[in-house]
Amino acid sequence: MTAPVNFLSSVWTIAIYTWREGIRKKVLIGFLILSILVLFGAQFMTAFLTVPRSAGELETSIDVQLKMVKDICVTVISIFGALIAIFISASVVPSEIENKVVYTVLSKPIRRFQYLIGKFLGVQFIIIVNLALMAGLFFVALWVKEGVLPTLLLWSALLTYFEFLIVSSFTFAVSCACTSAVVPTILGLFIYITGNLTEYLKDVERRSGQTALWLDEWTGKLARWLYLTLPNLKHFSLKTQILFLEPNDPPRDVQMMALVIYALVYALAGYIIAYWVFRRREM
């Protein structure tokens, strides 16, 4: 009975500590404030864009404005959320090794995989709270503007979290092999960006091989390989639906469950790699 309790309580202690330390990072706070400013700014900015001349024009212009606000907000939440997720996932383990607190922590009755789970959970708390703050703000703003509960947004936020989970677990795994946050941050950004562009990779593959040059052929192979291994993060975006459906419509044409499982599998793989790297790491 006490063994699993001890196991969980150590993991929990590390997670809470990671959370408390993480939310103090200046970069993270900076990103969050910036994104909230943009979210607010978007609400006002569009009001100055066009001056309507007739009632019909007024209606369409309001519609256009609203779409624009939505577009900006969804994009900002995705980009800033991803930046925060990548930054925090990349830094918790290297910074603790660098400031040497890891010596006293790992010499306590705690195994390395517990420590890593705790760290990973702490990172997820930060990502979730941060996403909830941004999406919550947007939710309230839309609700006030449109007068209906924008439930579609909740679905979107949920999927966005699972997108971040994929990026975060990959970044975290890389960070477990690194002595600073620089390399994992760069690779995390790479995954986030290319993961959102995998459709292009398919395009690249299709167009390659038209000349007989080896470079051309290899580019195609590389594109194909990246297409197959990289997660397709575009699937996790409900942006077009938020723009064109009613705010309280259910999401259409997305297999929620499949995407969640897809993300969880990536996250599990990320954790296993992280542990495999960290298990024999010398402090």
Task: List interacting residues with other proteins (CB under 8 A).
Answer: 6, 9-10, 13-14, 17, 20-21, 24, 99-101, 103-111, 280, 282-283
Q: Which is nearer to other proteins, 20 or 207 (CB)?
A: 20
And the tokens for 158? 């949920």
DSSP string, 63-123: HHHHHHHHHHHHHHHHHHHHHHHHHHHHHHHHHHHHTTHHHHHHTSS--HHHHHHHHHHHH
Q: Which is nearer to other proteins, 114 or 169 (CB)?
A: 114
Q: Please say whether the beta carbons of 125 and 21 come within 8 A.
A: no
- Local structure of 159: helix, strand or coil: helix
And the tokens for 76? 């900002």
Single-letter residue type at 218: W
Q: Considering the complex, what minimum distance in angstroms separates the CB of residue 31 from other proteins?
A: 19
Q: Which is nearer to other proteins, 14 or 76 (CB)?
A: 14
Q: Considering the complex, what minimum distance in angstroms separates the CB of residue 14 from other proteins?
A: 8
Q: Which is nearer to other proteins, 12 or 143 (CB)?
A: 12
Smallest CA-to-CA distance from 280 within 92, 110, 120, 112 is with 112
Q: Which is nearer to other proteins, 110 or 245 (CB)?
A: 110
Q: Considering the complex, what minimum distance in angstroms separates the CB of residue 87 from other proteins?
A: 18
Q: Considering the complex, what minimum distance in angstroms separates the CB of residue 95 from other proteins?
A: 11
Whole-angstrom distance, CA of residue 169 vs CA of residue 171: 5
And the tokens for 121? 């959970």
For 188, list phi and psi in degrees, rounded to 5: -60, -45
Q: Considering the complex, what minimum distance in angstroms separates the CB of residue 268 from other proteins?
A: 24
The Cα-based distances of 226 to 45, 240, 272 in angstroms read 39, 25, 21
Q: Which is nearer to other proteins, 25 or 224 (CB)?
A: 25
Q: Considering the complex, what minimum distance in angstroms separates the CB of residue 11 from other proteins?
A: 10
Angle among Cα 82, 133, 145 to the nearest 5 degrees reads 110
259: Cβ–Cβ under 8 A, 6 or more apart, which residues?
Answer: 159, 162, 235, 236
And the tokens for 82? 């991803």
Q: Considering the complex, what minimum distance in angstroms separates the CB of residue 71 from other proteins?
A: 38
